[in-house]
């Protein structure tokens, strides 16, 4: 692959705004990097779709975005899309692709009780990919998985200035805790990039003594390693694009502005 132009962006792709948790971590290690944030809001939510639907949609969109924007690297800042389509996207595109996977390895390293909870979308929690991560990095600990689709909507609402639905928070935590052995959980993996946006609410509901773990910092470090030695220069403001309604997308302008993005457009 030829060395990228300094203005060639890093493309962060998510089904919605959950990837902002990854962008925040990326800004810490590569503040000078030009970024395009791509939100497939027309396809939201991914968690209720079939694996075939997610794979076809993600591969198709990223192919078109790569042709249009010529990114130096693509980060699939979505656990569901990564666990389903990461391998396929890497086969199709000849640029570095960084995925987002549940942070089971760091959770296994810090649990004291040996019981780890995992909150994700319906599609993520059932993936063989997660089975493999548990087998490789779980250190024999108990991993209790819980689908929490309501948290995606709660996070999206929060970024639009509405209160996060407390019932969705309470229901998700109760379902996780209600599993056999759930009372022993002392570490919870946030296996959807939307969920760290609800960190305060989840921490309050889970109670003291429970550590929340997500993969954003590790993803940022991986992007930094893959782009080490490359030149960065912006020839325009960082931007966010959406497959959905641009009018609705503009309601998220304050959230994007907090991350240095002021240019919102339709894809």
* pLDDT for res 1: 60
**Residue 43 near residue 15 (C-beta atoms within 8 A):** yes
Residue 163: pLDDT over 70: yes
pLDDT 10s digits, 231-263: 999 999 999 999 999 999 999 999 999 999 999
45 CB neighbour count, 10 Å cutoff: 19
Does the pLDDT at position 10 exceed 80?
Answer: yes
User: What is the C-alpha R_g of the chain?
Assistant: 18
Phi, psi of 262 (to 5 degrees): -115, -10
What confidence tens digit (pLDDT) does each residue in 80-108 have? Answer: 999 999 999 999 999 999 999 899 999 99
H helical segments located in 111-250: 122-125, 128-137, 150-159, 166-177, 199-206, 216-226, 246-249
Question: What separation in angstroms does the CA of 108 have from each of 17, 211, 225?
Answer: 27, 11, 24
Tokens 């309604």, located at residue? 245
Q: Is residue 146 a contact partner of residue 176, using CB atoms and an 8 Å limit?
A: yes
What is the CATH T-level fold of the domain 10-100+217-266, as seen in this structure?
Rossmann fold (3.40.50)
pLDDT of residue 188: 98
Average pLDDT over residues 51-56: 96
Query: Which of 117, 128, 131, 152 is closest to 43 using CA atoms?
Result: 152
Sign of the torsion formed by the C-alpha atoms of 26, 29, 75 and 263: positive
For all residues of the chain together, what is the average pLDDT? 95
The yes-or-no answer to whether 10-100+217-266 and 104-214 have a common fold is yes
Domain 104-214 has CATH 3.40.50.10440: no
203-213 burial: b if 16+ Cβ within 10 Å, else e: eebbeeebbbb
Give catalytic residues, as residue numbers. 78, 192
Interatomic CA distance for residues 8 and 20, integer angstroms: 20
pLDDT in tens, 111-149: 999 999 999 999 999 999 999 999 999 999 999 999 998
Q: Quote the CA–CA distance of 19 and 75 in Å, as a whole number.
A: 9
- Using DSSP's 3-state secondary structure scheme, residue 84 falls into helix
- In the chain, the N- to C-terminal Cα span, in Å, equals 26
Nearest C-alpha neighbor of 263 from the set 203, 221, 75, 252 = 252
From the list 92, 89, 101, the residue with the least C-alpha distance to 127 is 101
The answer to whether residue 2 scores a pLDDT higher than 80 is no
The length of the chain, given as a count of residues = 267
The pTM is what? 0.93
Task: Classify the C-alpha dihedral 222-228-234-235 as positive or negative.
Answer: negative
Average the pLDDT over 7-11 and give the result.
Answer: 98
Give me the residue spans of the domains in the chain.
Answer: 10-100+217-266, 104-214
The percent of residues above 90 in pLDDT, for the chain, comes to 94
pLDDT of 160 reads 86
């Amino acid at each position: 692959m030829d060395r990228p132009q300094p203005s060639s962006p890093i493309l962060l792709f998510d089904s919605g705004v959950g990837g902002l948790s990854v962008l925040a971590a990326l800004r810490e290690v590569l503040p000078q990097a030009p970024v395009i944030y791509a939100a497939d809001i027309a396809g939201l939510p991914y968690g209720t779709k079939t694996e075939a639907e997610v794979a076809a949609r993600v591969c198709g969109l990223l192919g078109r975005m790569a042709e249009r924007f010529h990114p130096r690297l693509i980060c699939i800042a979505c656990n569901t899309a990564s666990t389903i389509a990461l391998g396929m996207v890497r086969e199709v595109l000849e640029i570095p692709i960084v995925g987002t996977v549940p942070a089971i390895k760091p959770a296994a390293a810090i649990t004291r009780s040996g019981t780890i909870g995992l909150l994700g979308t319906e599609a993520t929690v059932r993936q063989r990919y997660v089975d493999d991560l548990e087998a490789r990095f779980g250190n024999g600990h108990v991993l209790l998985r819980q689908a929490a689709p309501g948290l995606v909507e709660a996070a999206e609402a929060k970024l639009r200035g509405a209160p996060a639905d407390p019932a969705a928070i309470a229901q998700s935590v109760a379902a996780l805790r209600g599993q056999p052995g759930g009372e022993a959980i002392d570490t919870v993996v946030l296996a959807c990039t939307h969920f760290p946006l609800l960190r305060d609410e989840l921490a309050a509901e889970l109670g003291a003594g429970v550590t929340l773990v997500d993969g954003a910092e590790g993803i940022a470090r991986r992007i930094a390693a893959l782009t080490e030695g490359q030149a960065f220069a912006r020839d325009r403001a960082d931007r966010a694009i959406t497959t959905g309604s641009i009018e609705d997308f503009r309601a998220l302008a304050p959230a994007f502005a907090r991350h240095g993005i002021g240019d919102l457009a339709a894809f």
